[in-house]
């Protein structure tokens, strides 16, 4: 009990409320509904001062595979934790990383990759849980003190998706809200095949018109990639430029892995392409032939005897193309537009920096200044939009075993955040007409 004295000297008595009723524990995430490349502010309040707490994040993909992360924090004198100021003391990372719980998400079952398939109808729903102790993921379940759900969307309000089946072209076109015309981009991924839409829809949410283009293992396209027919990609470029909402006179390409090798070939041979982003791709023709009109480029075969196996059991191909000579490089000097090479120096699938450096050297020998390289120490192969979890390795059905992509968690997260800004700046600079704004 505590006493309060009135001015007339009368003492009133009151019962002091228990501590846990005075302090309401809250976990606050702002915004709780946003695009995946938007940062989230996370705070915990109402806790005792100087207490160690655990914050966990859990999400399921569309196949119900579970991905989790956690970090331990110590509350301040006010009993609060603010991820923008409070350093993590342990868990999946240490230090001040406001989005650490998002980019450190990892699969409960090894070799799964967190990748959104249905971008239009549902977000990733990430559940944040607060525990008032150190709580390891594999321990006996205890109830959390507070929870918060965060919805992470790959498509913004007003973005429209058009299924594309035009001539041979197969894919999905994402258009921003408004009349346009918009700068057009073709989006290509690698040996995963099929139709991958999450990056195209996200770029469309930032004002670009993006065609997510499939080129094998989708609908009536070949099940396996037997050759790269550049006329197919030219048809896609012409389709995009013929669309009434696409800005003239040329388009951009954003491409990853095998897709980046194709994207670079498009830059070299197709006049429609005026700005190309190549993310961790070969600068030679590899594995399958490249065909364009009367041209046939024989592929360089990988030196599979140089393949290594990571301790996890995943296969590393990094050293299988290091023997390539300059004469095998695609004719980058023929490119009429600008090229941005984005490379992770810890890429275990390909020595992508070596490939990009050879292309840059060739450009210089021909007196061309159209290329630029952004090299990220510690980053792996799959450099994706900001706050995407690092995928160190994932199952590759063609191999029948997991493939290693590499990457250090913190360095990779930083590379994703920086490169995403640079990619958008690059396309705005080289695709927008004079006087246009985006």
How many other C-beta atoms lie within 10 A of the C-beta of residue 249?
10
| Active-site residue, from 37, 129, 187, 347 | 347
User: Cα–Cα distance between 281 and 352 in angstroms, integer?
Assistant: 6
What beta strand segments (E) does 267-347 contain?
A: 273-279, 290-292, 295-297, 308-309, 315-316, 338-344
Among this protein's residues, is 255 annotated catalytic?
no
| Active-site residue, from 69, 201, 257, 394 | 257
Among this protein's residues, is 50 annotated catalytic?
no
Among this protein's residues, is 187 annotated catalytic?
no
User: How deeply is 178 buried, as exposed, middle or buried, from its count of CB atoms within 10 A (0-12, 13-18, 19+)?
Assistant: exposed
Please, which residues bridge with residue 394 across strands? Answer: 403
Cβ–Cβ under 8 Å, residues 301 and 390:
no
Cβ–Cβ under 8 Å, residues 103 and 416:
yes
| Inter-CA distances, 72 with 43, 48, 91, 394, Å | 13, 15, 6, 27
Report how far Cα 125 is from the mean position of its chain's Cα atoms. Answer: 17
DSSP 8-class letter at 254: E
User: Cα–Cα distance between 172 and 213 in angstroms, integer?
Assistant: 7
Cβ–Cβ under 8 Å, residues 102 and 389:
yes
Q: What angle, 0 to 180 degrees and rounded to 10, lies between the N-to-C axes of helices 230-242 and 258-269?
A: 70
Q: How open is the CA angle 393-110-127, to the nearest 5 degrees?
A: 105
| Active-site residue, from 243, 355, 381, 430 | 381
Point out the residues that are catalytic. 257, 347, 381
């Amino acid at each position: 009990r505590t006493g309060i004295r009135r001015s007339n000297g009368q003492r009133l008595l009151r019962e002091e409320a228990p501590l846990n009723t005075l302090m309401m524990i809250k976990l606050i995430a702002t915004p709780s509904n946003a695009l995946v490349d938007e940062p989230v502010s996370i705070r915990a309040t109402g806790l005792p001062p100087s207490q160690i707490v655990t914050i966990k994040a859990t999400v399921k993909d569309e196949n119900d595979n579970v991905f989790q992360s956690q970090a331990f924090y110590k509350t301040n004198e006010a009993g609060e934790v603010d991820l923008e100021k409070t350093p993590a003391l342990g868990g999946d990372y240490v230090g001040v990383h406001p989005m650490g719980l998002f980019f450190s998400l990892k699969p409960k079952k090894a070799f799964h990759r967190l990748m959104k398939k249905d971008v239009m109808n549902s977000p990733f729903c990430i559940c944040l849980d607060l525990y008032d102790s150190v709580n390891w993921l594999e321990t006996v379940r205890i109830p959390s003190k507070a929870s918060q759900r965060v919805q992470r969307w790959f498509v913004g309000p007003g973005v429209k998706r058009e299924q594309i089946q035009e001539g041979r072209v197969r894919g999905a076109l994402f258009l921003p809200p408004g009349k346009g015309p918009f700068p057009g981009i073709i989006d290509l991924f690698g040996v995963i095949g099929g139709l991958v839409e999450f990056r195209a829809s996200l770029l469309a949410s930032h004002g670009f018109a993006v065609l997510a283009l499939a080129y094998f293992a989708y609908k009536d396209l070949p099940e396996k990639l037997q050759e790269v027919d550049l006329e197919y990609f030219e048809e896609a470029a012409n389709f995009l430029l013929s669309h009434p909402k696409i800005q003239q006179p040329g388009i951009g390409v954003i491409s990853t892995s095998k897709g980046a090798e194709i994207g670079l070939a498009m830059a070299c041979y197709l006049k429609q392409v005026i700005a190309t982003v190549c993310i961790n791709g070969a600068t030679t023709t590899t594995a399958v032939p490249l065909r364009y009109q009367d041209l046939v480029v024989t592929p360089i075969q990988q030196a599979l005897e140089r393949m290594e196996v990571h301790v996890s059991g995943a296969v590393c191909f990094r050293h299988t193309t290091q023997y390539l000579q300059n004469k095998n490089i695609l004719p980058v000097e023929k490119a009429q537009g600008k090229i941005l090479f984005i490379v992770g120096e810890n890429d275990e699938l390909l020595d992508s920096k070596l490939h990009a450096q050879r292309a840059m050297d060739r450009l210089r020998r021909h007196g061309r200044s159209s290329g630029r390289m952004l090299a990220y120490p510690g980053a792996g192969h799959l450099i994706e939009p900001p706050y995407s979890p690092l995928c160190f390795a994932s199952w590759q059905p063609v191999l029948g075993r997991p493939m290693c992509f590499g990457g250090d968690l913190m360095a990779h997260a930083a590379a994703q955040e920086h490169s995403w800004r640079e990619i958008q700046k690059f396309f705005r600079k080289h695709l927008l007409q004079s006087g246009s704004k985006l």
